[in-house]
Chain A
Amino acid sequence: MDQNLRLLFARALADEPEPPPGDLAGQAMATGTSMRRRRHRLVAAGVAGVATIAALGAVNVAPPAERSASPATVPAGFAMLVNPACDSPVQDTSTDVSIFLTADLTDQQRSAVESMLHADPAVHTMAYESREQALIRYRKIFEDAPQLVAAVKASQLPESFGIKLTGRSQYANLAARVERMPGVDEVIGSECPPGTNAWAAR
């Protein structure tokens, strides 16, 4: 038999139906535009978030800890530290989780969170990221926006743990367990394309 693979593929495609009527390009442009808008909104909210993080930092230097007025933009501010190739923040479809730690974290709190994550059944792999590593990644994510890079110092960025979940259904479980731990500031779920993760630069 002298069949080669390409010929067989061609034959398998022989029953191709007519493409459905409709403007493929037009629809793609409409969907694509709203995707882009959503992403821009997230980044814009994130920029506002970094400003608030910086402001919180400044406030914290002067009178000790008056952080009750944590504004709603802060989660989005953390979300901008997540790999832009991932969809964030998402819940049920999360493949990755970023756990951002508070600015006034103690060593005990950090190791408590770490050992809890180590033992957690929802955690497939985990990676710790220091403030300095966060800054390196932040610079990469915003390399096209020098004014954003110049405005931020390592001390203004949070330490974090990056988690690969064992399955997509695990986000809610893990978030519920981790969120209330002392030293944990924000938990963000991301849906990342295969081969990447939430704490890669892009």
Chain B
Amino acid sequence: MADTRTDAAGSLPDARHGLVARWGVARRREQTARQAEFTAFVEATAPRLRRTAYLMCRDWHLAQDLTQITFAKMYAAWGRIRHATNLEAYSRRVLMNAVFDQKKRRSDAELVLADLPEAAHRRLDDTVELHVALLQALAALPIRDQAILVLRHWEDQSVETVAGILNVSVSVVKTQNARALNRLRALLGEDFVRT
């Protein structure tokens, strides 16, 4: 017993060195492949994600930051999620959570303007460009309703997918969507929002 152990110990450094080196190479290769995969995902997804983020916050700088946060969070969990069936929907979910978070943080820090509700109910000026009016009207809605409208009517996601992204039931998406559309119509005029 003792003899074999000394023998093994004598030859161990080399053998171990070879193993560690091989393990290191394999690990690096795996990591490179993973990074390449992630980079391809970012390149394919970033433009759409940034536009969706912009419609949610109406600020291109912030939209860029939110996109960045989304990708960082996804990379942190990449090993677990890379084979998920719908990475696209998953990225929307992470983004929307970042949007809600950011919004909550800001509204905690800011004073709420007392006359905001009135302003929101006022019919918008006809001279304002329609898409500008739309963004203003959108901003007056609750943030989750905005998310439903943007995901449904800009991204064209199905009711089921939206429900999954926002972690609510299908019927909630349906009723909230209908209600949000009604509010947009009230704000912008009847045939303004025809879907």
Contact = CB atoms under 8 A, between A and B. Distances in A.
Contacts of B149: 5
Contact of A16 (B60, B67, B135, B167): B60
A195 interface: yes
Contact of A194 (B67, B73, B100, B191): B100
Interface in B64-102: 64, 67-68, 71-78, 97, 100-101
B100 A193 contact: yes
Interface in B139-190: 149-150, 153-154, 156, 166-168, 184
Interface residues of B, number: 48
A169 to B, nearest CB: 7
B132 interface: yes
Interface residues of A, number: 35
A20 interface: yes
A168 interface: yes
Interface stretch (B20-28, B48-56, B116-124): B48-56
A3 B191 CA distance: 8
B108 interface: yes
B35 A32 contact: no
A4 B130 CA distance: 11
Contacts of B101: 193-194
A10 to B, nearest CB: 8
A36 interface: yes
B71 A32 contact: yes
Contacts of B184: 5
A193 B194 CA distance: 34
Interface string B41-62: 0110011001100110000100
